[in-house]
Structure 1
Amino acid sequence: MLDITQMNDKQTLHKEQITVVGAGIVGLSAAIELMRAGFQVTVIDKQGVGEGASKGNAGHFATEQVFPLADPAMLPKLPGMLLDPLGPFRIQPRYFFKALPWFIRFLGNMLPWRRANNSRAIKSLNQTSIAAIKSLVTFCGCEHLLTLNGSLLVFEGTPAKLVEKEFKAYSNAGVAVQLLTGDEVRLLEPSLTSNITHALYFTQVGHTSNPHGLCLALAAKFKQMGGKILTEELVNVNVSAEGSDIVLQTQTTNRVSKRVLIASGAWSKPFAKQLGYSVPLETERGYHLMMPQKSSLSRPVASYERKFIITPMQTGTRLAGTVEFGGLAAPLVNARADCLFPHARALLPALFADASESDGERWMGFRPSMPDSLPVLGQSQKQSNVYFSFGHQHLGLTWSAITARLLAEDIQGKQPSIDLSPYRIDRFS
């Protein structure tokens, strides 16, 4: 008599194979949805589960971020921002000319009609992303890692008229938001400084208190379902002459798969090139300073003026923010993590009164960013068995579950529940 384990093994052998390249939150979410759809899924990652940008992000499911980064309002501020080595937006001088083509495209996306189209495409993903992540964590049994308690964008010295303008911009864009006075802010979060005069309270967003823990929980569920995770460095992707198989060359072996999903974040560009696509993907180097002090905050708090975010975590308080262009090879710049601390102390004076930046743990990760602020999603137009899910920029955590669902629909040959044409990989051709 054949036992149930043997039956499951035999059934697995008859499932169609797909390999997901990337074990970050985007790749893991997709792997789970593909397993649920009946595929035999293997995940390959050179670092292991959640060891890239997924490990150190701010933990914010930021569906309020409906505006593309290419904002004409940045133009007059750009020279000063770029020249400040500790400013919120910087290009390392040695990297300037390498990043220049990306920035030319970035400037092109400031055109009103492009900005409007990009904003619509961002909103399409945002609208159902919270519902999708809620469904995913419920399926994986890690609901405790999702907190739906909103977030705050606080203002200190900004004139009330400009605060009102920001409020109307979000409200008119369909974001669930409330305008709070400073006193109302402190009723929600008593530990925040009295210098805060206003805040935008985004009521339908959430956060996780352990981004890496969330990745590990998803990986555990994936393996429980029968999926495999391999820690290997992929160096080349080749589609066979017949187009029926894909050869994945790692540093140690060659692996054959019927289909492949490239979801390797900032490292996706060379694989796309091997498959015939030149994509303008650039790397934003994101920093955090993880402080051991546990705040009494119940939600993420971002600062309009200071351009950073504070998120309460299981093991302390995470200070995150700043954008730096410097590529994948340059080392972490300690000062760019340390500069977050004075801002945090200004907002949470009691918590950090006797602390210093040396108490914290510095971290730097790579955000995969496209000049139009949109990810690359969907099937290759050159190879029918190749799919892409990368370039989620600041919203990888936010979009992880919804893009996984869309990719699973697409790979099954179903009509995706959201039109994927704005996210096609060949949109830059």
Structure 2
Amino acid sequence: MKEYDDEHRGTIAIVGAGIVGLAAAIELQRKGFDVTIIDKEGAGSGASKGNAGHFATEQVFPLADPTILPKLPGMLMDPLGPFRIQPRYFVKALPWFMRFLANMLPRRRAKNTQAITALNQSSIAAMKQLVSFCHCEELLTLNGSLLVFENTPLDEVNKELSAYANAGVEVQLLDGAQVRKLEPSLSKTITHALYFTHVGHTSDPYRLCKALESKFNALGGKLVTEELVKVAVAKTSSTIQLDMATGATQQIKRLVIAAGAWSKPFAKQLGYSVPLESERGYHLMMPQISTLSRPVASYNRKFIITPMTDGTRLAGTVEFGGLKAPLVAARADCLFTHGKALLPTLFESATVTDGERWMGFRPSLPDSLPVIGRSQKQSNVFFSFGHQHLGLTWSALTGKLLAQEVAGEQSNIDLQPYRIDRFV
């Protein structure tokens, strides 16, 4: 028997109007719930707007990879490198990194890989269903992606190929000539590529969010653009009180925390200590329209190029510095050097000042898994956050899984690996 089998399932509030929260809202509406979303900035802002637009189902490996350890000093010293920790933030981030290191242990890494793969395997199908339901199919392109190598030894390339193939990822090895036959504008310095044939991208992540918001509104949803500061569950009843920054309060029966990098304080108010850290991701949006037909990631440079409706997006750097520090222009600008190296003709006459800098917050947990499912402390509270680099990729699927959990149905995927109480 389903938990909510009444004729009208009642109301539910979602904290967070990023693509994860929007997808969950629509799936809950499809199950008969009246849904209100609360977000201080409105729909599709933050990481949902500025991500690389890549549905990266080939990324089955946790970020906690022991092979990066010997490379870390060089990465931190390289001004064009993909990784940085702001010095003032190092001590604060240290507990997260200790947990991150622990997840490099073989058993944990294998377990986390399995849990990531379980989500990735169904994510594209779920997104296809979602964009069809929202009548925005044109915003999902299933044309694969490339991981390119510049003068990398062939045995190293083959090692990467084997790792992906052994993990069940659909992948082909291309030589330089085959790469440029597929994408003629790419540099001749590229000697090989892995062609991931079963992934996709969107040409406009923000427009995708707005399409979901439009469907949400059409289904009777309500978006409250206010800042939520406190969540409290009454001890004598199942009522949840929401306190806004304006002083307004709201009483609700069911709640979903899907606030991305801002989810940690709400989880703490509900009794959970979650090791959530924000990875500050950057992009440089160049106005030049490329001839690329799919995302191109660089193995050597650790960044990604995605063709967009309004230009070419260069993305991929990671910075740890918290939620309050301002954008560091150099972290976006360094992407131009990499972009010009891979697309020399496109950017031949361009300068970095042509681009628009952006920085957003990826909500990352040290095991690279999201938190999905019901609270073990409050049966009317649910979570969907911590999607790290795969928020766009997992959004439609985790929306479905969450809606099944709220409705008391058997979920399509076992949610045990993603429980919020997995952290000790």
TM-score w.r.t. length of structure 2: 0.97
Q: Provide the residue aligned with 1:3 in structure 2.
A: none
SS at the partner of 1:339? helix
- Matches of 1:98 and 1:87, distance apart in 2: 22
Does the CA contact (< 8 Å) of 2:149 and 2:193 recur in 1? yes
Is 1:375 equivalent to 2:396 in the alignment?
no
Q: Provide the residue aligned with 1:210 in structure 2.
A: 204
Is 1:161 equivalent to 2:155 in the alignment?
yes
Q: Provide the residue aligned with 2:18 in structure 1.
A: 24
Does the CA contact (< 8 Å) of 2:285 and 2:312 recur in 1? yes
Q: Provide the residue aligned with 2:3 in structure 1.
A: none
Q: Provide the residue aligned with 2:166 in structure 1.
A: 172
Q: Provide the residue aligned with 2:318 in structure 1.
A: 323
Does the CA contact (< 8 Å) of 1:21 and 1:44 recur in 2? yes
Is 1:251 equivalent to 2:245 in the alignment?
yes
Does the CA contact (< 8 Å) of 1:302 and 1:310 recur in 2? yes
2:259 to 256, 264, 274: 264
1:62 to 40, 52, 56: 56
- Matches of 2:93 and 2:315, distance apart in 1: 23
1:191 to 185, 194, 197: 185
Q: Provide the residue aligned with 1:364 in structure 2.
A: 359
- Matches of 1:241 and 1:286, distance apart in 2: 39
Q: Provide the residue aligned with 1:286 in structure 2.
A: 281
Q: Which letter maps to 1:74? A: I
**Deviation for aligned residue 1:208:** 0.2
Does the CA contact (< 8 Å) of 2:8 and 2:32 recur in 1? no
- Matches of 2:356 and 2:56, distance apart in 1: 24
- Matches of 2:57 and 2:83, distance apart in 1: 22
**Deviation for aligned residue 1:24:** 0.2
Paired residues for 1:324-363 under 5 Å? 324-363=319-358
Cα deviation digits, residues 181-240 of structure 1 (max 9, x gap): 000001110010111100000000000000000000000000000000110100000112
- Matches of 1:144 and 1:408, distance apart in 2: 25
- Matches of 1:332 and 1:251, distance apart in 2: 25
- Matches of 1:239 and 1:274, distance apart in 2: 9
- Matches of 1:244 and 1:271, distance apart in 2: 17
- Matches of 1:180 and 1:262, distance apart in 2: 43
Query: Runs ≥4 in structure 1, deviation > 4 angstroms?
Result: none
2:45 to 51, 54, 61: 51
Q: Provide the residue aligned with 2:408 in structure 1.
A: 413
Q: Which letter maps to 2:64? A: A
**Deviation for aligned residue 1:77:** 1.1
- Matches of 2:178 and 2:89, distance apart in 1: 44
Q: Provide the residue aligned with 1:229 in structure 2.
A: 223
**Deviation for aligned residue 1:34:** 0.2
Q: Provide the residue aligned with 1:115 in structure 2.
A: 109
Does the CA contact (< 8 Å) of 1:243 and 1:383 recur in 2? no
**Deviation for aligned residue 1:306:** 0.6
Is 1:239 equivalent to 2:233 in the alignment?
yes
**Deviation for aligned residue 1:14:** 4.6
Is 1:103 equivalent to 2:91 in the alignment?
no
Q: 1:242 to 1:150 in 2, by over 3 A?
A: same
- Matches of 1:78 and 1:289, distance apart in 2: 24
Does the CA contact (< 8 Å) of 1:84 and 1:90 recur in 2? no
- Matches of 2:229 and 2:298, distance apart in 1: 41
2:380 to 366, 381, 385: 385
Q: Provide the residue aligned with 1:273 in structure 2.
A: 268
**Deviation for aligned residue 1:415:** 1.2
Q: Provide the residue aligned with 1:151 in structure 2.
A: 145
Cα deviation digits, residues 267-321 of structure 1 (max 9, x gap): 0000000000000000100000000000000000000001000000000000001
TM-score w.r.t. length of structure 1: 0.96
**Deviation for aligned residue 1:180:** 0.3
Q: Which letter maps to 1:185? A: V
Q: Provide the residue aligned with 1:8 in structure 2.
A: none
Moved more, 81-90 or 34-43: 81-90
Q: Which letter maps to 1:345? A: K
Q: Which letter maps to 1:66? A: V
Moved more, 244-253 or 418-427: 244-253
SS at the partner of 2:190? coil
Give the aligned length: 418
**Deviation for aligned residue 1:81:** 1.9
**Deviation for aligned residue 1:13:** 11
- Matches of 2:391 and 2:342, distance apart in 1: 27
- Matches of 1:417 and 1:13, distance apart in 2: 24
Cα deviation digits, residues 224-263 of structure 1 (max 9, x gap): 0000011010000011222321111111211111100000
SS at the partner of 2:32? coil
**Deviation for aligned residue 1:86:** 4.1
1:82 to 76, 81, 84: 76
Does the CA contact (< 8 Å) of 2:57 and 2:199 recur in 1? yes
- Matches of 1:79 and 1:243, distance apart in 2: 53
**Deviation for aligned residue 1:84:** 3.6
Q: 1:86 to 1:345 in 2, by over 3 A?
A: closer
Q: How much is the aligned-residue C-alpha RMSD, in angstroms?
A: 1.1
- Matches of 1:345 and 1:375, distance apart in 2: 34
- Percent identity over the alignment is 73
Q: Which letter maps to 1:326? A: G
- Matches of 1:312 and 1:282, distance apart in 2: 29
- Matches of 1:84 and 1:243, distance apart in 2: 55
